Amino acid sequence: MSERVAIVTGGTRGIGEAISIRLRDAGYKVAAGFGGDEAKAEAFKTATNIPVWRWDVGDFKACAAAVQKIEESLGPVDILVNNAGITRDATMHKMLHDQWIEVIRTNLSSCFNMCNAVFDGMRERSFGRIVNIGSVNGQMGQYGQVNYAAAKSGIHGFTKALAQEGAARGITVNAIAPGYIDTDMVRAVPPVVLEKIIARIPVGRLGHADEIARGVRFLVSDNAGFITGSTLSINGGQHMY
């Protein structure tokens, strides 16, 4: 087996950074995508030796172009981790239409854009591993997050539908639903709100990014071919079903 190629969107920061590093350490050729923070992406590239590409995951054509460039550089894409995501939290009566659109396009349309760009190649080669990063808040909802909860919940439905299309072609499609992980995104939640959330996590702490990355590494393994359409919840017991 040649070295497999993996794309991790939002792969230079937070959970994505941990996923990129873990897949690199497992022997994959990783391409890390990022949306805007050039300085962080350069620091990540220097520290990890993982190549980085900048594009907007919410832009359909930009995704196709990025996949083409990555394939020219690293080879055909075997693994796609749709991790890029943003929050624009606000209660309904304060949420702007732009905040709704921005979250839906970046967190959910991105999954369509990226899967559409890699799926033909995976079908031709009869192998693929797609992992979509959902959220506990897509499973149970969250005050102030109708946009984010809808996008993440959409990811879970998207995963089950695409899993059915890929199954006979050696392509698995799974989701991971992280709980509250110690990243910049969660640290941006007002401390008084975050304290109350942590109090409802039975394990009693925030998760670590690498605890999600380990799940991704498991799901993308060559020998994980019988796991598809599943959602792996990694949330410290905050939500069980």
Site string (147-186) toward ligand CAA, x via CB under 6 A: -x-----------------------------x-x----xx
User: Measured at CB, which residue is nearest to ligand CAA?
Assistant: 144
* Catalytic member of 28, 143, 148, 241: 148
How far lies 146's CA from each of 44, 46, 188, 195, in Å?
A: 32, 37, 17, 21
Site of tokens 């599943």: 230
Chosen residue from 42, 68, 69, 91 binding ligand CAA by CB under 6 A: 91
Whether the CB-CB separation of 129 and 220 falls below 8 Å is answered with yes
Asked if residue 5 lies in contact with residue 29, where contact means CB atoms within 8 angstroms, the answer is yes
**Binding test (CB under 6 A) with ligand CAA, winner from 83, 135, 147, 228:** 135
For ligand CAA, the closer of residues 66 and 212 by Cβ is 212
**Amino acid symbol at 64:** A
Q: How many CB atoms lie within 10 A of CB 192?
A: 7
Nearest CA among 77, 105, 85 for reference residue 16: 85
The CB-of-149 to ligand CAA minimum distance in angstroms stands at 9
> Which parts of this chain interact with ligand CAA (CB under 6 A)?
87, 89-91, 94, 135-137, 142-145, 148, 178, 180, 185-186, 189-190, 193
For the annotated catalytic residues, the residue numbers are: 148
